[in-house]
Chains A and B, each alone.
Chain A
Amino acid sequence: MVIPETPGSKIVAPLGDASAAAGHTGGLSARMSEGRTAGAALPEGSPNGDARTAFWLMAPALALYAVFTLLPIAATFWLSFNSSAGFNTSASFVGVGNYAKAAQDPIVWKSLVHTFLWLAYHVVMAGGLGLLLALAVSTLRITQVFFRTAFFLPHLVSLAVVGVIWANIYDPFFGLLNTALTRVGLGAFTQGWLSDPALVLFSVNVASSWQGFGLYMLLFIAGLQNIDHSLYDAAEVDGANAFQKLIYVTLPGLREVTTFVVSLAMINGLKGFATVFVMTNGGPFYQSELITTYIYRLAFQSQDHGLAAVLCILLSLLAIAITIVFNRWRARLSQ
């Protein structure tokens, strides 16, 4: 069997010799290799032949990807250069007219700023809370399963339902939050959580983060379990206190999980829509408008599909830019 050359490797060896070449003279892998070579020989093929086989094997998936992902992206791109009032309406080419319109629309800029803020809030609040609770829960012995389950439960509730629940919690007159603050003598801290322009985006994000933190917590718990316990023993021998162990052992040990959680939180943050739509519909006076909610408003309420398509392109570019920056940061971190 000729193993195709891959960059950085020049292995040309029979499969049966692979384990021997790697220094294994026996064991399961060697026996498996022997079994394979002892039976019908694998067909030999040129790299081109393998590529053709791979192509045909991937063809169904590629076709689905083209129909359900590439085609809609292309259609959105096409739509962004057209003026269309929506369903069944013949589109007319307007060039970059929609892009110019978007650039001049103050709500687009406002929603862009809100989207960045939303992203940051979600990463810090949902990711941060997930980490804190993972640290707390992982120290428990008997009740760990109970708390893990309890904290994960909000993640099972749909975002729309979460929105309704939290809108009621924030109700300025009957809501749990203001009522509780008043009952404990902190009436001065009661707020119009969904009406105050400075608070509304944060308030809605709390609801969204509450729904999301459970998943991040589980990921962090899994990461904590992978940290070699002997490192803690060594730190203790060196006289490290709990805080030092957290800074010098736990957090570095969670580096991989943290980058994964941050990327996941960013993806979820960019997709932020349901809680805003249910709790404020982007208001009051556009103070919680995100790019996603504005796209919905334009496409389905105002039927301005051209402008909505421009914002879809903008959102995609934003996602790509964030991905590139994040990946570079992650690569630098792992060096």
Chain B
Amino acid sequence: MLKFLARGTALAAMIAASSLAHAETLKMWGPEQITEPLVAQLWNGIKADFEKANPGVTVEFMPPTGTISNGAVQAAIQSDAGPDVILTNSGIGRISVVKNAKQVMPLTDQYEKRGWKDKIYPWLYTELKGQFGGEIYEVPDGLDALGIWYHKDLFEQAGWKIPATWTEFEALMKSIGETGLQPIAIGPRTTGSAGHLFGNLLQSASGKDVIGKALRREIAWDDPSVAAGAIRLQKLVEAGYIKKEMAGLDLDGASRLWFNKRAAMFVAGPWFTANARKAGYDLANAGYAPMPSDIKGAAMPTGGVGWSWLVPVNSKQPELAMKWIDFMLSDAVMKKRAQDPASTMIYPREIPGVEPPTPVLKDIFAAAAGGVGYNPSVYLPGTVLDTYFQVIQGLISGQIGGEDGMKQLQAKMAEAK
């Protein structure tokens, strides 16, 4: 009996030791809204599926406390106790910050080796290949399409509608302002929110081609054809359609203004559905339209790569991180996410037969089907972004004019590598 017990104990110890030897933990910097129950439910499901497919692996979510824009991702990587794989806000401007600091791995080989190349839109792959001389450092998880969100009920009651031209749009803002409502809310203390409205205005005033040229440095940012959008923002502030006080608001503050129907419009992307849910806003009442423009074809959402997967150079589990990205790009996970009520974005490839979970997402997908323009927040070099966001704050708080602001931006662009 004693012998039997001893053998049993030894066997159990061996099994335990063997499973310990294979036990691996993947630390993942998760989506921003992971503390929201609906989002957590989706991600916990994905985590469970991944763990089931990879016995002995545990996925540990690190609730994110910031982004590349505010330096939190860089600090987390630099700590050397950070994540093995990161999902964060992206775009060439932000990625260049962590790429230049050699904080993230190049993933170009993986695109070929693991077939990621065929799991994103071909145009998206071409764009990524062109950004850093052929080297790719991110795997897009979601695309952004920024446009005007409005309250359907308020607009119906007042007989308003989002017009097609800028001239009519100014008239609409005047009408809205006369009722005591704020025509447009913006929270420029949050960099993203500052860039969303400003990017829309730049494209509306100059068109996609001009902004594209400015981003490729084929045309200066203080050229009148580009500066028009900044002057447009200055005029909106001077006319009182955007209150100077809004320079003190962040994304939450500006969203609160919109959710409480104290503001008629707000510029945001599909991710705003998560904020709406959190605020208890009825998403069926949310309307979406691109920013009007007098330039033919310019009334389209702005956007670009919104969220991407990155692998830090000091990832303790790089191979597992690659497996995780494989898993996220699989048909099963992508479909699961796209159909889930927590879905908040446009996916990096077409997913046939998937019905968006909310009507406003359907509107956004329809508006983006014809393509999206440039949101400079994700395309400008990292060293220029800070000036870009501060200039927007300066314009809204009335400290600087549109032309001067764009001169400052151009000076920073000239310095940037």
Binding site for B on A (CB under 8 A): 85-89, 167-168, 170-174, 192-197, 200, 280-287, 296-297, 299-304
Contact = CB atoms under 8 A, between A and B. Distances in A.
Interface of B: 69-71, 74-75, 77-78, 97, 100-103, 182, 188-189, 243-250, 253, 256-257, 260, 262, 313, 382-383, 386, 389-391, 393-394, 396-397, 399-400
A89 B102 contact: yes
A264 B324 CA distance: 50
Nearest to B72: A300
A283 B243 CA distance: 16
A279 B260 CA distance: 22
B70 A194 contact: no
A89 B101 contact: yes
18 contacts: A85-B101, A86-B78, A172-B245, A174-B253, A174-B257, A192-B243, A195-B244, A197-B399, A281-B70, A282-B390, A285-B397, A286-B390, A287-B397, A299-B71, A301-B71, A301-B386, A302-B382, A303-B100
A110 to B, nearest CB: 11
Contacts of B103: 86-88
Contact of B250 (A167, A192, A286, A300): A167
B282 to A, nearest CB: 20
Given A192-B247, A302-B383, A285 B391 contact: yes
Nearest to B393: A284
Given A89-B101, A195-B397, A303-B74, A297 B386 contact: yes
Contacts of B75: 300
Nearest to A193: B248
Contacts of A301: 69-71, 74, 97, 382, 386
B105 to A, nearest CB: 11
A88 B77 CA distance: 11
Contacts of A195: 244-249, 396-397
A285 B77 contact: no
Given A195-B247, A286-B390, A301-B386, 20 more contacts: A86-B74, A86-B78, A86-B102, A88-B102, A88-B313, A89-B100, A171-B248, A171-B256, A173-B245, A192-B243, A195-B248, A196-B244, A281-B189, A283-B247, A283-B393, A285-B399, A301-B70, A301-B74, A301-B97, A302-B382
A100 B9 CA distance: 70
Best-buried of B74, B248, B253, B257 by chain A (most CB within 10 Å): B248
Contact of B189 (A87, A89, A194): A194
B61 to A, nearest CB: 22
B382 A303 contact: yes
A194 B71 contact: no
Contacts of A287: 397, 399
Best-buried of A85, A194, A301 by chain B (most CB within 10 Å): A301
Contact of B71 (A88, A171, A172, A296): A296
Contacts of A89: 100-102
Nearest to A86: B101
B188 to A, nearest CB: 7
Contact of B248 (A88, A170, A300, A303): A170
A173 B396 CA distance: 16
Contacts of A167: 250, 253
Contacts of B386: 297, 301-302
Nearest to A171: B253
A86 B248 CA distance: 31
A87 B102 CA distance: 6
B256 A302 contact: no
B194 to A, nearest CB: 9
B37 to A, nearest CB: 22
Given A174-B256, A286-B390, A302-B97, A192 B245 contact: yes
Contacts of B257: 173-174
B383 A304 contact: yes
A51 B315 CA distance: 48
A60 B390 CA distance: 47
Contacts of A174: 253, 256-257, 260
A257 to B, nearest CB: 37
Given A195-B397, A280-B189, A285-B399, A172 B101 contact: no
B238 to A, nearest CB: 15
A87 B101 contact: yes
A197 B382 CA distance: 26
B318 to A, nearest CB: 15
Best-buried of A86, A173, A194 by chain B (most CB within 10 Å): A173
